[in-house]
Chain A
Amino acid sequence: MFDDLDDPQPFRPDDAFRAGARRRGRRLRRRRRLAASGATTVLLLVGGAVGALAYVDHRVASIDRVEVVQLSDPPPPGEPRTLLFVGVDTRPPDDPDVTGSRSDTIVLARVDPGADTLTVLPIPRDLQVPVDGAPARINQAIDRGGADLLVRTIEDELGIEVNHYVQADVEGAVAVGDAVGGLDLAFAHPVRDTGTGLDLPAGCTHLDGGQLLAVARSRHLQALVDGAWRRDPASDLGRIERQQDIAVALLARLAELDAGDPVALARTFDAAVDHLTIDADTTASRLEDLVRAVVGAEVTQLRLPVADETTPQGAQVLVAAPGSEAVLAAFRSGVAPAPEPGGPDPGAATPTFSAEPC
């Protein structure tokens, strides 16, 4: 109807326009993040009453604590700090080929409040590293020496200083998953697990907390490829990778929470609190700083290149592959690594059995 009011010249956004839009957008994001004056105060806004203060303090105070003396002192507020996130599944394994270790998911997250970025690096639990002198799978560190040994191993073998430790049980993923309104994950092919009743189409699907748990626990995932149902040859390893993908996606989803929506923040906080164990030195105000830094941050997900290797004893193990040092350096500095010449194409097709955020 108002066609005649149109610009006779068609509009094409040029580089200057694009750059300007991005710049303005980032500034707006930062301002929105800063406007939320921290998780605790936001909850006060929601509570609205003096009683709410006591409730919030009580909730934060009720979080289970663990002494992790190996942690490095956090830097001054505003400086980048690193969080070690460990996901545990306390349900006893019913599968004989599943090892007894509890810490299936190990994710390092570096948050830079100044640059407004969150860099996430999942560590494959079967990564072979010296643990207390002898080669072992990295997640055995927590079984042998608790979070202390894991933190020390990460510092010694990966060169990454960890400031905070957060452990969550897998049921927490359900609660938080529901609190953030579910996650969008995509599979390359239709997948099912007749054991857990999981049945998902190909492509982007919205999953609620319960479905996320079903994916995270699926040990016998099958994918419909070229008309036939194929078992995931990685079996339990595949499950671990998917669990890690979910943990990373949840973390990234937290970064996308609307800083101006105190109700959503409060609901997520409330959902998470019962399932967390945090190191004793991360005070409520430091936790607040962390939450404030994560919400609204720009998320970059790194991947550690790994390769299969056979030990002299004939065992199949996973080791860090060439390029891993560059990825670790990138994590430490928060700068993206340059792509390896001739390396894997990040835009390559999704592997058959893994879930990608979408």
Chain B
Amino acid sequence: MIRRDADASFERSFDDLAAVAYRVAYRLLGSRPDAEDVAQEAVARAYARWRQVRPHAEPWVARVATNLALDQLRARTRRPQVADDRDRAAPGAADPASPDRLELARLLEVLPRRQREVVVLRYLADRSEADTASLLGTSVGSVKTHAHRGLAALRTAWTGLDPDVRLDPGGS
């Protein structure tokens, strides 16, 4: 018996896709169960549209995971957040309600759509300029422009953000 090779190619990509989705979701949500849930849904959606998604699966999944995570955050801020022990995995683990995460999410939401997409793919999902351009159907030059503008907007609104210095969760 021979399984359809399209499904086989999905199986081969599975781990990488899950990892990308998880990383993006965790950076925004800071909670392992929440990030896993988002990652699982993002990967499932890729499977449902595998033929179309396959040529640029990783950036696609990163984008879906971002949107799902931002949706969750929007829902969270509407409900008062109760501190949950399970979210504090270990001493020193990132705080899901950390000002940086919430600030990041808020700022992402107010960016113009194109800039948000590029910033998310380039800096949350760590995709290359080429990958990003391919997924968004635009040129590398365009990606550079949007990234530059997006970061500039983030920096203006958020004095703690400096691309040359690693983010410190404890302060700004």
Residues of chain A at the chain B interface (Cβ within 8 Å): 1-9, 11, 13, 17-18, 20-29, 32, 252, 256-258, 298-303, 330, 336-337, 339, 346, 356-358
Q: Which listed residue (B23, B28, B47, B94) contacts A21, Cβ 8 A? A: B47
How far apart sit A32 and B14, CA to CA, in the bound complex (Å)? 21
Give 5 A-B contacts (CB < 8 Å), ordered by A residue.
A4-B169, A6-B94, A13-B14, A28-B48, A300-B4
**Interfacial residues of chain B within 103-142, with CB under 8 A of chain A in the complex:** 104, 123-124
Answer whether A300 and B30 are a contact pair too, CB < 8 Å, given A8-B93, A21-B47, A25-B43: no
Question: In the complex, what's the smallest C-beta–C-beta distance from B117 to chain A, in angstroms?
Answer: 16
Contact with A along B3-40 (1 / 0, CB 8 A): 11111000000110011001100111010100110011
**B45 neighbours in A (Cβ, 8 Å):** 25, 28
Contact in complex: B7, A298 (CB < 8 Å): yes
Partner of A4, one of B6, B48, B163, B166: B166
Q: Across the interface, do A346 and B1 meet the contact criterion of CB distance under 8 Å? A: yes
Partner of A25, one of B44, B90, B94: B44
Within 8 Å CB of B89, what residues of A? Answer: 7-9
Inter-chain contact A6/B49, CB cutoff 8 Å: no
Q: State which of A3, A28, A300, A357 has its C-beta within 8 Å of the C-beta of B47.
A: A28
Contact with A along B50-77 (1 / 0, CB 8 A): 1110000000000000000000000000
Q: Is the CB of A252 within 8 A of B4?
A: yes
Asked whether, in the complex, the Cβ of B4 is within 8 Å of the Cβ of A5, the reply is no
B168 within 8 Å of A (CB atoms): yes
A21 in contact with B18 (CB, 8 Å) = yes
Instruction: Tell me which residues across on chain B come within 8 A of A23, comparing CB atoms.
Output: 44
Whole-angstrom CA separation of A5 from B40 in the bound complex: 20
Given A11-B23, A336-B1, residue A4 in contact with residue B44 (CB < 8 A): no
Contact indicator A5/B1 (Cβ below 8 Å):
no
Annotate B159-172 by CB proximity to A: 1 below 8 A, 0 otherwise.
Answer: 00001001111000
Contact between A3 and B43, CB atoms less than 8 A apart: no
Whether the pair A298, B4 counts as a contact (CB closer than 8 A) is yes
Cβ–Cβ contact B43 & A357, under 8 A: no
Query: Taking the nearest CB of chain B, how far is it from the CB of A36, in angstroms?
Result: 13
Task: Decide if B92 is an interface residue (CB 8 Å cutoff).
Answer: yes
Once the chains bind, are A11 and B22 in contact (CB under 8 Å)?
Answer: yes
Given A29-B48, A32-B48, CB of A5 within 8 Å of CB of B41: no
Q: Tell me the smallest distance from the CB of B24 to a CB of chain A, in Å.
A: 10
Q: Smallest CB–CB gap between A49 and chain B, Å?
A: 28
Complex CA–CA separation, A18 to B46 (angstroms): 13
Let me know if B2 is at the binding interface, CB within 8 A.
yes
Q: Which residue of the partner chain, among A2, A298, A357, contacts B167 with CB atoms under 8 Å?
A: A2
